[in-house]
Structures are given as C-alpha cells and as structure tokens.
Amino acid sequence: MKRIESLTNQWVKETKKLHKKKYRDITNQYILEGEHSVQEALENNGLIDCVITTDDGLLKYKSILSKVSEEQLVVVTDGILKQLSELPTPQEIIAIMKKSEELTGFGEKILVLDHVQDPGNVGTMIRTADAAGFDQVILSEGCVDVYQSKVQRALQGSQFHVSIVTNVALDKWIEQAKMRHILTVATALDDTAMSFKELQLTESIAIIMGNEGQGVSSDVLLHVDKKVYIPMKGQAESLNVAVAAGIVMFHF
Amino acid sequence: MKRIESLTNQWVKETKKLHKKKYRDITNQYILEGEHSVQEALENNGLIDCVITTDDGLLKYKSILSKVSEEQLVVVTDGILKQLSELPTPQEIIAIMKKSEELTGFGEKILVLDHVQDPGNVGTMIRTADAAGFDQVILSEGCVDVYQSKVQRALQGSQFHVSIVTNVALDKWIEQAKMRHILTVATALDDTAMSFKELQLTESIAIIMGNEGQGVSSDVLLHVDKKVYIPMKGQAESLNVAVAAGIVMFHF
C-alpha cells in the first residue's frame, strides 16, 4: 500500500494528466471512477494499474478493496482525490486502468457508431448494446474518445462485457463486413429506407447509427446493404440517437 | 420593438430570475432558448411573452422573427443575452414563455414519470413519447421541473405536441386511470413481472417509468394492473431509463 499526501507529488501530477486524451493516448491508461465501475473491472479481469482511495474509503469500500493487491492500493488525502476525480462530488474509489488491446475480428451482432460526439450518448449506446446481447461495438474515426471519463461513467461496466474497437475507417470496414456476410444496416431518413420492423432477423448484423446532427455519413449510406427508419406517429422530427439505437437493437 | 442596453436594467434582473424554479412558479413564466424551440413555439401557438435577440440575431433569424409582433420583440446587447441564457455559447434567440394551463383530463396513450430526476432523461422521454404517438405525459411529485432550461432544450418542441401534467399524486391518479379502463403498466425488475413483448395492445394505456436509481415506487407497483420488464441478453444490469421508455413505447 502506497500513501500519498502531497498535492505536488509527481505521481499525482502525472495521473491528473489522464484527464486529457493526449496523455491517455501516450500512456495507454485511463481513469475509471466509482464503486460500481471499479467492481466491474475487478470482476471482469479489467487491466487495473492501481486503485486509489482515502482513509474513509478504506472502510467504506472494504469488501471491494479486499480484492485489490497491496501493491495496487494507493491511499490519498481528500484533496488529492478531488484533483484526480472529474466529478464535482467524487466517490472515494478510483482505478487507473490500462487500455486493453482491441480485438480486430468481427462480432456477430455489431453496433457501429459513425462520428457520434456526445459522451453520454456513446456510453449509453454501448451499455444498451450489451443489454441487447450485441457482442461488439465499432467506433468510427471522429467519434468521442471512449476512454473519456463521461463515457466510462455512462458505460457502468459494459466496457468489460462487449468488445470495443475504436478509430475505424468505416468505408473499408463495411466492405470487409459484407465479404463476411454480415448484413450492414444504417438508420436513415430517406425515400429508399424501410421500416426497421420489416427487417428480417439474420445471424450476423451490423447496425450503424450516425452523428447527432448529421446522421450517418452519405459515404457510408452508399455502401450499406439496407437503410432503415423508425416510423414515428407523433409530430417529433427525430429521436435521441441513443433511444433510436435501443429501439432498433431490441428488435433483434 | 424594445431595445435594452444596460445590464442593470430592472427587466434584465427580473428575467434572469427565471433561471430559478421559485421564480418560474411565482411568475408562471419560463425561458425557451434557441432557433428550433422558438420556431416550434411560434408554429404551435405557444404562449410567447416576448422574443429576445441581438442586432446580429435580427439578421440571422429574420424569417422566424418576421412572425413575432413588434411589441413582443426585445433587442439586447451580447452581454445581456449571455446573462439571460443558460448556455455557455447561447444562440441569439430566446423566448420568454407563459406556462400553458395544464389539461387535467386523461389521454389515450400516456407516459407516466415517477420521481424522474435527470433533466435530460425527462426531456428525452417526453420527446420519445411524442414520436411514439403518445398524447399525454404525467410527471409525479418529485420529478424535475419540466420548465427547467435543460428539460426544455431536450424537448425540442415536443412540449407543444403532447399534453403535460405536472406535480401529480400518482396513487390517486392510478386509481382514477383504472376506473377509466386505462391499462396501467409499470416497468419493474421483480418475479411477478412479465416481458413487455407479451403485453397485448390495448386502446388506452399508461406506461410508468421510475426514478433512475430506485425504479418505480413500491407504492405505485402495488396498484398497477401489470408489471413488465425488458428481457436482457447481455451482462448489463440495467438500461438507461430513457432508452427503456423508448423500447416499451415503440412496442405499441
């Protein structure tokens, strides 16, 4: 067990840098906050570098922390914890994680996110994919960084249940998916789209959701097998992308 | 057209107070921000007190503003606009609205929110209800204030399409709904719940969604006709409440 009490400690300074994507990319590390997320990491063989807590936290999270090795445990002051956390009122348990290697193979039921920017939406969609029994999530170039703390919080452990591949060039990916007989389906609002309810269930499917404002890129739309829309009865013009993804994924 | 240039102007001070629920309750007014929301208010006979813009905005939003009467138009400086807005980078068009009178009758397809706290979730669920063809949303006591700016932003005009009733005591409401042969259905995670897919379509239905952490109150669960759950295949323990609401509402 390591104990750190100085705010100017070098390790504190280095760790704080993980709030920025640049440093997460360099170090291959990221921050995971809160009881539930840390527990999921422990239970699912997440790659934990260390677990940070306070003296209060040692008592409060006794049962979780009993699964953490002595060498991995770091006890800090409330002041340091507040600096490392990105929450206004942090829980007194934070893990520093190693990014796990991304498996580049193809899943069977795949959610594909095309330039989705909102961290909450990305987190919620990955969590929904997990709940719907999807086994892989593909994030295109230009999506928000999945290791950002807001995404990680929204994930609530789903990052350890589904395979996540980031920074994917979608045009090439779709070509390869089609060669593997994976049905590629994009949500779209044009004349050639069909209601998602008419989609036949298939073994392998990739559902592509687009950016909050622009929808799925026109390049991607050109190459997919099917375009689907969600029939709306009311006067709302569109659905939140995470809600739309949930409706389509739970259809399967 | 009124023109206001002083940050210490009394009207500016009074209007800023609408950021607080207390003043929204006293004055029966609220703030609606952004081009799309103001346009929806204009097109759907929303009760507009005035529309605030800047000199730039007069040009940028010319076509919308042409539908606003001279007496209702207020032109302010960028500094004042920033004070009245609750966004870090405000659009240069804000409406001060009168709350519309709540219709207390019963809809046919009703979404009921039981102590839902997150403004984004409440806004997204009302918008989804609109898209799913639901005609009424009931908010229980203890829900977030629907006139809060974050809720209003997430609504994107749906506040003018569906009837919204706030501050409802759910136990009495459910009793009355049942007397009117409205099928009351709550989402729940207990042994007596059935899959939502087994629910028969009925003419009149009320779908009750619960608080993010606690779910539907035990009191409410005791009195509803049916309890339903969403079958999950993955390892996720729960769905975001707005996604869950979308999946169930679009089943009908």
User: Any idea what the CATH number is for the domain that residue B198 is in?
Assistant: 3.40.1280.10
Calculate mean pLDDT across residues B115-122: 95
B128 and A246 in contact by Cβ < 8 A?
A: no
Q: How does residue B209 score in pLDDT terms, banded at 50, 70 and 90?
A: very high
Of A98, A122, A142, the residue that ends a domain is A98
Cα gap B239→B169, rounded to integer Å: 26
Q: How does residue B156 score in pLDDT terms, banded at 50, 70 and 90?
A: confident
Contacts of B250 in chain A (CB under 8 A): 230, 247
Question: How many domains does chain B contain in total?
Answer: 2
Residue-level pLDDT, tens digit, chain A, 252 residues: 999 999 999 999 999 999 999 999 999 999 999 999 999 999 998 999 999 999 999 999 999 999 999 999 999 999 999 999 999 889 999 999 999 888 878 999 999 999 999 999 999 999 999 999 999 999 999 999 999 999 998 898 899 999 999 999 999 999 999 999 999 999 987 778 999 999 888 889 999 999 988 899 999 999 999 999 999 887 777 899 999 999 999 988
A239 and B127 in contact by Cβ < 8 A?
A: yes
**Structural domain includes residue A104:** no
**Structural domain includes residue B158:** yes
Cα gap B212→A61, rounded to integer Å: 23
Q: Which of A154, A234, A242 sits opposite B130 (nearest CB)?
A: A234
Residue A76's DSSP bridge partners are A4
A128 and B230 in contact by Cβ < 8 A?
A: no
The reply to whether A35 and A114 lie within a common domain is no
The reply to whether B120 and B77 lie within a common domain is no
Cα gap A3→B236, rounded to integer Å: 34
Cα gap A62→A58, rounded to integer Å: 6
The reply to whether A212 and A124 lie within a common domain is yes
Token pair 């669960």 in the structure block, residue = B221
**Structural domain includes residue A72:** yes
pLDDT above 90: residue B212: no
Helices (H), A67-180: 78-84, 119-131, 149-155, 170-179
Report percent pLDDT > 70 for chain B: 100
- DSSP secondary-structure letter at B1? -
Residue of B nearest to A128 (CA): B239
Of B98, B122, B156, the residue that ends a domain is B98
Contacts of B247 in chain A (CB under 8 A): 246-247, 250
Chain center to CA of B159: 6
Q: How does residue B223 score in pLDDT terms, banded at 50, 70 and 90?
A: very high
* Residue B101: Cβ within 10 Å count: 8
Of B73, B98, B123, the residue that ends a domain is B98
Q: How does residue B98 score in pLDDT terms, banded at 50, 70 and 90?
A: very high
The reply to whether B162 and B194 lie within a common domain is yes
The reply to whether B11 and B119 lie within a common domain is no
Token pair 């007194």 in the structure block, residue = A92
A240 and B132 in contact by Cβ < 8 A?
A: no
Q: What is the ipTM of this complex?
A: 0.83
Q: How does residue B72 score in pLDDT terms, banded at 50, 70 and 90?
A: very high
**Structural domain includes residue B19:** yes
Contact call for residues A211 and A117 (beta carbons, < 8 A): yes
> What are the tens digits of pLDDT across the range B180-198?
999 999 998 777 899 998 9
> What are the tens digits of pLDDT across the range A138-177?
999 999 999 999 999 889 889 999 999 999 999 999 999 9
**Structural domain includes residue B103:** no
**Structural domain includes residue A17:** yes
The reply to whether B129 and B243 lie within a common domain is yes
The reply to whether A69 and A150 lie within a common domain is no
**Structural domain includes residue B104:** no
The reply to whether B80 and B133 lie within a common domain is no
Q: Which of A130, A235, A247 sits opposite B234 (nearest CB)?
A: A130
The reply to whether A66 and A122 lie within a common domain is no
> Containing domain of residue B214, as a range?
109-249
Cα gap B104→B73, rounded to integer Å: 32
The reply to whether A128 and A239 lie within a common domain is yes
pLDDT above 90: residue B8: yes
